[in-house]
Amino acid sequence: MKQHLQLHTGQEMPLLGLGTWNSPPGEVARAVEHALLRANYDHIDCAKVYGNEPEIGGAFQQVFSSGKRKRTDVFITSKLWNTDHDPADVAAACRQTLADLQLEYLDLYLMHWGVAFKQGVGDKPMGRDGEMELASVPLVDTWRAMEQLVEEGLVKAIGVANFGVAQLLDLLTYANIKPAVNQVELHPYNSQPQLVAFCQRHDVQLTGYSPLGSPGLSGHQIRLLDEPVLVSIAAAHGKTPAQVALNWNAARNVVVIPKSTTPERIDQNGQIFDFELTPEEREQIDVLNRNYRFVNPAVPWGLPYFA
Ligand code: A2P
């Protein structure tokens, strides 16, 4: 099974990366070191808002200075947070991430959400009416500033996250540098086949976040990894439901970034390319879709973003 995708920039993007959302600062460095030095990962997904980039930077420093891995052999992504959309702030936010991660460049820099938040009151400036406080920054202005980061050599590619088809259609009309990637929630309970087909037709590759259904999040009755179809297909292949869910996405050319800070699970999630699902098994998984989002800002942000 193939393990890389080609971006329109010509870069090879690994189909598997380590996710770091909700990886606590006390644990994430060990997870990143384990993934890069012992589990053969070559892709780490980060974001400023995850609050752990300084510790991940320490891990990169360890790994790259050890001489066991080269910076150029690892694909590193980070993301511009919603409070940094003003064109005057974009380069500073990117430079802060580079300083925290102790890197000279990023392979990919994503606009984390297609919405700008007001600055000056933390990452999530909640208004008194229970709705996030927004800033009047058009996405085109933010995108122009991100294009500048490519020109300056701070990042090799730019992309977006959490964009739907309507937002992408607009972006594609004005982008001088097309988005290389759209990172969205993708797993068997939220497979978004139309969005996936649209992006792939326009040469925008997809990264799927929460590819295991984020079992660590509270407040959800539904557990993807307990899904009987995944459990039975996993048994047939001598694999785990997690490995089946990851393989299914990777086989449809969706990059997966399972988060784990547990070494055994990091190892397990790294072993997804040594088996192939049959067409019938793929079909059984395809029909599990129920448009269920484990990540939806409607309640925490008071913003029906996906409506
Ligand atoms: P932990 O970090 O304690 O290992 P997602 O990437 O979909 O958001 O899922 C991340 C969650 O899934 C974390 O709570 C992580 O726990 C857990 N997890 C990661 N890999 C596996 C696995 N192979 N089997 C079961 N749970 C896993």
Give percent of the chain with pLDDT exceeding 90: 96
The whole-number pLDDT of residue 68 equals 97
- Mean pLDDT is lowest, of 120-129, 191-200, 286-295, for 120-129
**Region 146-164 average pLDDT:** 98
Tell me: pLDDT of 121 over 90.
Answer: no
Find, among 236, 235, 244, 245, the residue nearest to 214 by Cα.
245
**Region 6-17 average pLDDT:** 98
Nearest atom within ligand 1 for CA of residue 224: 7
Catalytic option among 50, 109, 189, 209 = 50
CB under 6 Å to ligand 1: residues? 19, 210-216, 225, 240, 242, 258-262, 265, 268-269
CA distance linking residue 159 with residue 172, whole number of Å? 11
Q: What's the N-to-C CA distance of the chain in angstroms?
A: 36
Q: 101-117: per-residue pLDDT in tens?
A: 999 999 999 999 999 99
- For residue 213, report the distance from its CA to the centre of ligand 1, in Å: 9
pTM (two decimals): 0.98
Is-contact 199 5, C-beta < 8 A? no
Tell me: pLDDT of 251 over 90.
Answer: yes
Which among 260, 267, 269, 295 is the best mutation to test ligand 1's pocket, defined by most ligand atoms within 8 Å of the CB?
Answer: 260
Nearest atom within ligand 1 for CA of residue 216: 14
- For residue 214, report the distance from its CA to the centre of ligand 1, in Å: 7
Nearest atom within ligand 1 for CA of residue 212: 7
- Mean pLDDT is lowest, of 18-22, 24-28, 150-154, 208-212, for 24-28
The whole-number pLDDT of residue 76 equals 99
The whole-number pLDDT of residue 120 equals 84
Tell me: pLDDT of 236 over 90.
Answer: yes
Confidence of residue 9 (pLDDT cuts 50, 70, 90): very high
CA distance linking residue 196 with residue 132, whole number of Å? 29
Is 109 annotated in the active site? no
Kindly give, in sequence order, each residue whose CB lies less than 8 Å from that of residue 15, ignoring residues fewer than 6 positions away: 2, 3, 4, 5, 250, 253, 254, 255, 256, 273
* Nearest protein Cα to ligand 1, atom 16: 260
Average pLDDT, the chain: 97
Q: Return the DSSP state at 216.
A: T
With b meaning 16 or more CB within 10 Å and e meaning fewer, what string describes 18-47? bbbbebeeeebbebbbbbbeebebbbbbbb
The whole-number pLDDT of residue 299 equals 87
Confidence of residue 67 (pLDDT cuts 50, 70, 90): very high
* Nearest protein Cα to ligand 1, atom 25: 242
